[in-house]
Amino acid sequence: MKIGFVGKGGSGKSSMSWLFSHVLAQSGTPVLAIDADHNMDLTSNLGVDESDLPTMLSTHSIFREIVGLKNGDVWGDLVRDETRPKPSFTINPPDYYTEAVRTNVCENLDLINVGLGSEEALYLARCSHGNSAPLKFYLPFLAEDEAAVIVDGVAGTDMMNFGLYAGIDALVCVVEPHRNSVKVFELIKSVAERTNIPVFAILNKPSTNEFHTLMREKYANQVIGEIPLDVAVQDLTANTLASQTQNAVHAIWNRLKEIIPKTDHKKRLADIVALKS
């Protein structure tokens, strides 16, 4: 299953990406964690040194070559031209490109960093959308089988209209019981619906207030669980996580497996590309 954590800045996306990656990997699920944010917090949360890490940015030309994009070809050609051979990416065992771009973190857990916050990105004329293009075209062609693919995204709705998430199964919006966090969830929900991507919410660090009630009542169909405030999440110590936190991760993951509809990711990508052109 492929999911993307989205939400307001500071709501807990990178923490949830770290948490779900570790808990699922510890219980034997192969995990591919993808750091798709400028801050590259997931990379540092996972204890990986970003300075000597391959990124989608540093392997941009390998990706274009593998998918058969020649100089002058635009990314959308990959889906617009039906005669073009389609790429195919795998996790276990990894295909050539995945092997080139991934970094092993620990048993069952690999990381791919898009490279948005890398030194190289700072001096490029290309914007972060252009730099995220390999991920946009990687995800729909990635057969994850039993693995978990977890994308830590940019805050807010940025990257959504760009179609970055065409290849995932669902967006999971991290929502704190706060007015502005709920507001961002509502924006994300409306953009996700427009591009036909299922969107759910997890309530992070819940406390009982009017915004918690609003999420529980008005958005009862979207809310799939709650993650408590846990010092081990803050301290990034996977071996001291409260059992309540670990159980919540498993329950949310199993619920997602049950409710996410089967999707033709390649068709969704083609639809989003067509919508934009």
Ligand X SMILES: Nc1ncnc2c1ncn2[C@@H]1O[C@H](COP(=O)(O)OP(=O)(O)O)[C@@H](O)[C@H]1O
The residues of the shown chain that bind Mg ion, judged by CB under 5 A, are 13-14, 41
Give the interface with ligand X as residue ranges (CB under 6 A): 7, 9-15, 41, 204-205, 227, 229-230, 233-234
Amino acid at 42: L
Phi, psi for 145 (deg, rounded to 5): 50, -120
Q: How far apart are CA 23 and CA 13, in angstroms?
A: 15
State in angstroms the smallest separation of the CB of 116 from ligand X: 13
State in angstroms the smallest separation of the CB of 40 from ligand X: 11
15 contact, one of Mg ion, ligand X, none, CB 5-8 Å limit per kind? ligand X
* Start-end of H helices in the chain: 13-26, 41-45, 60-67, 77-80, 96-101, 119-122, 128-138, 179-194, 210-218, 231-235, 243-259, 265-276
Task: With beta carbons less than 8 A apart as the criterion, state whether 25 and 109 touch.
Answer: yes
State in angstroms the smallest separation of the CB of 202 from ligand X: 10
170 contact, one of Mg ion, ligand X, none, CB 5-8 Å limit per kind? none
Q: Which is nearer to ligand X, 207 or 213 (CB)?
A: 207
State in angstroms the smallest separation of the CB of 105 from Mg ion: 17
Q: Which is nearer to ligand X, 71 or 243 (CB)?
A: 243
268 contact, one of ligand X, Mg ion, none, CB 5-8 Å limit per kind? none
Q: How far apart are CA 267 and CA 100, in angstroms?
A: 27
